[in-house]
């Protein structure tokens, strides 16, 4: 699959889990992948692994709530590459495990900040580059919690319902410019997100590479159409 050879892909939350898997997959398909997250040492490790496999990777560590840092990052991409073809908004936080009334406001703000405001800031920074080029694809990683109630995860669920609505709306705003916007909503994924193991069989969960496969499918669609949303479920319930 060389349809994205020579393209530039930005992936948030790329230090582990789904973000790392997506980054590796896009690099294997020929894209130059720019990894972002807060954990610089993990980013460096993922980038080194990509380069050891013959891919091209860069990384930048910053907080997705830092508007100025995101603006500087986007300016750097424009100056170095002159393009951004793919943006995968994967970073997110959970703060699950207790009813909403026990959640402190700081945790609520952290969930909404990472899962919604960070996505908004990244789109705000990179959409102009795509619009100028009249091409590009934004993929937001959501969750089935954005389609269903989630006991003891109300804030997380609300943020993902919001992300889905944001995605559908931005897709309408950008389609006239040749830019596609999609959302992937997986169920239980075998990562350490939200504190990791819950006593469920990890082999039955969706694997990060499964999500990476879907992203690869989305960004290689023929230009006259796009898949707006993918819902993913484990074949066997964990």
pTM of the model: 0.93
In a domain, residue 1? The reply is: no
In a domain, residue 237? The reply is: no
Domain that holds residue 198: 8-232
Could you tell me the strand order of the sheet in which 136-141 lies? 56-61, 32-37, 8-12, 86-89, 136-141, 179-186, 229-232
pLDDT in tens, 113-148: 999 999 999 999 999 999 999 999 999 999 998 888
In a domain, residue 87? The reply is: yes
In a domain, residue 121? The reply is: yes
Please enumerate in sequence order all residues whose Cβ is within 8 A of that of 55, keeping only pairs 6 or more positions apart, or say none.
Answer: 24, 27, 28, 33
CA distance 217 to 228: 12
Q: How many domains does the chain have?
A: 1
What is the CA angle 36-155-157, rounded to 5? 80
Indicate if 156 belongs to the active site. Answer: yes
In a domain, residue 238? The reply is: no
17 pLDDT above the threshold of 60 = yes
Rounded (10°) angle between helices 67-81 and 118-133? 30
In a domain, residue 224? The reply is: yes
> Residue 154's domain is classified under what CATH number?
3.40.50.720
Share of the chain above pLDDT 70, in %: 94
Confidence of residue 177 (pLDDT cuts 50, 70, 90): very high
Give, for 44, the enclosing helix (H) or strand (E): helix 40-52
Q: Among 120, 156, 168, 177, which one carries the catalytic annotation? A: 156
Give, for 76, the enclosing helix (H) or strand (E): helix 67-81
102 pLDDT above the threshold of 70 = yes
In a domain, residue 190? The reply is: yes
228 pLDDT above the threshold of 80 = yes
In a domain, residue 78? The reply is: yes
Confidence of residue 1 (pLDDT cuts 50, 70, 90): very low
> What is the residue-averaged pLDDT of the chain?
93
CA distance 235 to 205: 8
pLDDT of res. 194: 52
Share of the chain above pLDDT 90, in %: 82
């Amino acid at each position: 699959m060389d349809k994205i050879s020579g393209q530039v892909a930005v992936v948030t939350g790329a230090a582990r889990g789904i973000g790392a898997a997506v980054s590796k997959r896009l690099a294997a398909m020929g894209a130059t992948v720019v990894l972002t997250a807060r954990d610089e040492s993990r980013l460096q490790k993922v980038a080194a692994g990509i380069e050891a496999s013959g891919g091209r990777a860069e990384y930048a560590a910053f907080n997705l709530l830092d508007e100025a840092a995101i603006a500087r990052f986007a300016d750097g991409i424009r100056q170095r590459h002159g393009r951004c073809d793919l943006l995968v908004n994967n970073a997110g936080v959970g703060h699950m495990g207790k009813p909403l009334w026990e959640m402190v406001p700081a945790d609520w703000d952290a969930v909404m900040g990472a899962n919604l405001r960070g996505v908004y800031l990244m789109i705000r920074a990179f959409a102009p580059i795509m619009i100028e080029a009249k091409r590009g694809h934004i993929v937001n990683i959501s969750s089935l919690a954005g389609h269903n109630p989630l006991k003891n995860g109300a804030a997380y669920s609300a943020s993902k319902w919001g992300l889905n609505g944001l995605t559908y709306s931005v897709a309408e705003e950008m389609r006239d410019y040749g830019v596609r916007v999609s959302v992937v909503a997986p169920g239980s994924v075998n990562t350490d997100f939200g504190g990791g193991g819950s006593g469920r069989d990890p082999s039955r969960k969706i694997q990060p590479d499964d999500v990476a496969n879907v992203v690869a499918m989305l960004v290689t669609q023929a230009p006259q159409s796009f898949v707006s949303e993918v819902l993913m479920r484990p074949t066997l319930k964990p």
